[in-house]
A and B are shown apart, each in its own frame.
Chain A
Amino acid sequence: MSLPSSPLYLDWNGALPVLRKAYDIGLFAMIIGPKGTGKTTLVKAFGAEIGRTLYPVNFSLRTRESHLVGTKTLENGEVGFVDGILVESMKLGGLLYLDELNAAEADVLLRLDEALDDRRQVVLKESEGQTITASKGWTVIATINPLSHVGTKELPPQLLSRFPVRLRLEYPPEEVEVDIIRRHTSIEDSALASVSIGVKLANKLREAAAVEELYYSPSMRETIAFSKLIKSGSEAKYAAQLVFANVYGQWGDVEYRKVMDMITSMFGN
């Protein structure tokens, strides 16, 4: 778990006040959006704002129930129990951050469901039936990727209903994305024109992926990586090829060439 920090989050769509409101009235929130739109940065910024310790769990196929509730140990011949991240966050009243919740397996979701209902309690069958009740201020934020993303599943409706405040976080408008990149990379103003073209390119690729004309949609992580390459002295067109075009080579020459054509028309020589 991590202590709250103040990441460079640009609240371009007014998400922070919504999260604050949900927190003040004791509701859990869910953030829905494609990868790399700044969901994690938003939650970190919110943790810093409310002064709560962040307990992040990144769900995947390999996340087990024991990661959440805890696990039995054998020490000096005695069976003990180490709290999982869910239990620890409940005991200490932290901000539990369930990242990519819809990548979790069904049994994991079941244990979560138990803790998230109005009683805010979880019974540890693994630890002699101990009942854990959440301390005051305990709150939960989940993020989910759209179902078109690899490894995602539909969340069971009862679990969805535990997060009645739902925020959609899409890719920001071009100028906002450039601003976000500027904060993340401290890039010089003279290089902003190239960054701007890179963001424009990323948006074109996102649009093409949305209508199934390309297999992959670049995220803000990629536009930030592109800008970092420029900052380190790479030529813009070459940086665009490295970050945006080469990845399409795995789907064949034509797919790669389509993106290279766009890069050529945008950057020229």
Chain B
Amino acid sequence: MSEYKYNKLNVTHSSTLEGLTVRDDVLVEIATFLSRRWSDKPKSLVTFTEEANPKTSPDKNQIALPHLRGYAGNRFQKYRQWRVSLWYESMRLKYSTKVLSYDHAFGFVFNALEKKRIESIGLDDWKGMMDEIIFDEGISWLNRPLLNSLYGVQKLLEGFGQLFLTGYIKGELFSSEHDKVAKAVELATSVVQEALASQYQTRWIEEQVPRIIKILQVDPLVLIPFSTIRSRFGISMSESELSRQIEKIVRKRRTAEKNIEKSVDAIVDGTDILPEYETLVRESKRHENEGYENLENMGISIPHRLDVNESEVYDTNLIHKTKAKFKEWRTGWIERHDRFGDEFDSEAFIEFIPTPFIVDLKLTIKTRVMILLDHSSSIQEVELKYKQVTNALCEALSFLGVRFAVYAFSTDGKQVKCWLIKPPNYRWSSICTKRLAQIRASGGTPLAEIYGLLEPMVRSFKPEIFFTLTDGEPSDTDAVRHMVLSFRKIGTHMVALGLGRNLDEAISIGQNLRYLEYERSLAVSKLEDIPKKVIGLLKS
């Protein structure tokens, strides 16, 4: 293996990336994207689990993976293994109908058979994963338990897992144990081959498991003391050990490979994956600088759950419609007739139109916008629609390149909470939608209190327009009036959007809001109209 190349990789880490971690929210965003494409399940969800093994529920379209810290090696190596786990689990989502627990013998054997089957099918489409699988096998090998240190059922199953999945065993088995394991592996291999040839699915594989268990002579329901698929307690490994192990796997998996050394180098370096990792680290670093920590001191909370399925908040039709409505901004230029300009329109001249010249106007919105969303209990009835509409609005604002920040308020355990959905410097992404999706509508409308919490944000971001979306009267009108005036004094245009269940109610809410010193108050009786109203107002 080329020492130079490997060291060069480490130098890159130490100079720019070492010491920096990948944030979970950043990781989840790219992982969700990849998993959805890999698995062809556009609504699949990736979350984290504290357990050592991934947990996938094909019926719920959910993948739960251990945190990066649960993997061995340096940070880049951890990421590579995590990515391989994500690929395997995405393949399970696509090709398996069932995933069993690794804690008992039956589940252990079944999962191993399925892993082999889906790996083979998956690699047909995702050939580029082969190198990563070899790397993962190589690096995890060093953390696999030595068979000599195990006893009984655990030893047999671990031996079976090692030999079946990698072709090697680590340590020694007694001859009787070795016979059982070898026979079981032989049968398991033929089972997987038959499944692939005849396109048998998960159910058929499950039916074959007892045959393998019988050869191993173990109780199918016996508990395995700790998961033996892979021990994640990282021992530092030497570079040469890793290369040696990878070379062994390359020789086994790629019998036709001519330049083994070059191939091993490429796999150890992971140069294809490194730019991906660097992007994640840079993105994480960017987010670190957003001062989230201080927000907590200011009384602003961040909805932190990552196991939220944000796909229900996406109403793609509404998003398309909203974008379509305002997309002429996106195109950048529009034509207008004028008294002077770049192009002479002879037809207009012949018809005595006083503006015979055509000028191109660039459409831009340089406005900074802050949006506050009411999540009081009265929103409950229409909560999902409200979130879908808000999401469409934010998607459209993002599409138009408007700089905006989004906050929401609700009551959580008798305490009024102001939530940060999207800070000004953060792009609108699935993480923002996850945050929006998890806020539950409850409590009253303590607007003045929320404005008070947001005041430092308003003073630093200096939005030109502050939209408040609310469906009711605030509980403290005088205080709200005072806060609205104080925001107006710092140059922010205060606009309120009243949400009514019908036209009459919307108009009455709109009129009430006008008394609160907002510069403009609009009424909306159809939630779908919100994006149109907000962007229309920016346009005007």
Report the Cα distance A62→B321, complex, angstroms: 24
Contact A264:B128 (CB < 8 A) given known A254-B30, A257-B30: yes
Q: Does A82 contact B (CB under 8 A)?
A: no
Q: Does B239 contact A (CB under 8 A)?
A: no
Q: Which of B150-158, B269-277, B417-425 forms contacts with chain A?
A: B269-277
Q: Does A75 contact B (CB under 8 A)?
A: no
- With beta carbons under 8 angstroms apart, the residue of B128, B314, B331, B347 that contacts A66 is B347
Question: Judging by beta carbons under 8 Å apart, are B395 and A253 in contact?
Answer: no
Residues of B with C-beta under 8 A to A204: 37
Question: Judging by beta carbons under 8 Å apart, are A267 and B127 in contact?
Answer: yes
Question: Judging by beta carbons under 8 Å apart, are A211 and B29 in contact?
Answer: no
Q: Which of B322-330, B484-492, B526-534 forms contacts with chain A?
A: B322-330
Contact A151:B87 (CB < 8 A) given known A210-B316, A268-B130: no
- With beta carbons under 8 angstroms apart, the residue of B126, B323, B346, B350 that contacts A265 is B126
For B37, the closest partner residue in chain A by CB is A204
Report the Cα distance A46→B126, complex, angstroms: 39
Residues of A with C-beta under 8 A to B427: 252
Residues of A at the B interface (CB closer than 8 Å) are: 61-62, 64-66, 71-72, 146-148, 150-152, 197, 200, 204, 207-208, 210-213, 215, 252-254, 257-258, 260-269
Q: Does B219 contact A (CB under 8 A)?
A: no
- With beta carbons under 8 angstroms apart, the residue of B37, B272, B347 that contacts A71 is B347
Residues of A with C-beta under 8 A to B314: 211-212
Interface residues of B in 256-277 (CB under 8 A from A): 266, 272-273, 275-276
Chain A nearest CB: distance from B9 CB in Å?
16
- With beta carbons under 8 angstroms apart, the residue of A61, A71, A152, A266 that contacts B127 is A266
Question: Judging by beta carbons under 8 Å apart, are A266 and B30 in contact?
Answer: no
Report the Cα distance A257→B272, complex, angstroms: 11
B20-41 CB contact bits vs A (8 Å, 1 = yes)?
0000000001100110111010
**9 other contacts beyond A64-B347, A253-B283, A264-B276, with CB at 8 A cut-off?**
A65-B347, A66-B347, A148-B323, A151-B328, A213-B42, A215-B399, A254-B30, A265-B87, A266-B125
- With beta carbons under 8 angstroms apart, the residue of B30, B40, B331 that contacts A258 is B30
Residues of B with C-beta under 8 A to A258: 30, 33-34
For B277, the closest partner residue in chain A by CB is A257
User: How many inter-chain contacts with C-beta < 8 Å in the A-B complex?
Assistant: 97
Contact A147:B37 (CB < 8 A) given known A62-B335, A267-B128: no
* Residues of B within 8 A of A (CB-CB), count: 48
Residues of B with C-beta under 8 A to A257: 30, 275-276, 279-280
Chain B nearest CB: distance from A144 CB in Å?
13
Residues of A with C-beta under 8 A to B273: 264
Report the Cα distance A23→B430, complex, angstroms: 48
Question: Judging by beta carbons under 8 Å apart, are A208 and B127 in contact?
Answer: no
Chain A nearest CB: distance from B5 CB in Å?
14
> 17 A-B residue contacts at CB 8 Å?
A64-B347, A146-B320, A147-B324, A148-B324, A150-B331, A151-B331, A208-B33, A210-B316, A211-B42, A213-B430, A252-B427, A253-B279, A254-B30, A254-B283, A265-B126, A265-B129, A268-B131
Report the Cα distance A212→B432, complex, angstroms: 14
Report the Cα distance A212→B275, complex, angstroms: 24
Q: Does B282 contact A (CB under 8 A)?
A: yes
Q: Does B205 contact A (CB under 8 A)?
A: no
By CB atoms of chain A within 10 A, which of B126, B427, B430 has the most? B126
Report the Cα distance A262→B323, complex, angstroms: 27
Question: Judging by beta carbons under 8 Å apart, are A266 and B335 in contact?
Answer: no
Residues of A with C-beta under 8 A to B38: 265
- With beta carbons under 8 angstroms apart, the residue of A147, A200, A207, A268 that contacts B320 is A147
Question: Judging by beta carbons under 8 Å apart, are A266 and B126 in contact?
Answer: yes
Report the Cα distance A44→B329, complex, angstroms: 33
Report the Cα distance A264→B127, complex, angstroms: 9
Report the Cα distance A147→B328, complex, angstroms: 12
Q: Does B319 contact A (CB under 8 A)?
A: yes
Residues of B with C-beta under 8 A to A263: 128
Q: Does B334 contact A (CB under 8 A)?
A: yes
By CB atoms of chain B within 10 A, which of A71, A146, A147 has the most? A147
Report the Cα distance A64→B334, complex, angstroms: 14
For A126, the closest partner residue in chain B by CB is B347
Question: Judging by beta carbons under 8 Å apart, are B42 and A261 in contact?
Answer: no
Report the Cα distance A239→B325, complex, angstroms: 35
Residues of A with C-beta under 8 A to B395: 212
Report the Cα distance A71→B345, complex, angstroms: 12
- With beta carbons under 8 angstroms apart, the residue of A61, A150, A207 that contacts B330 is A150
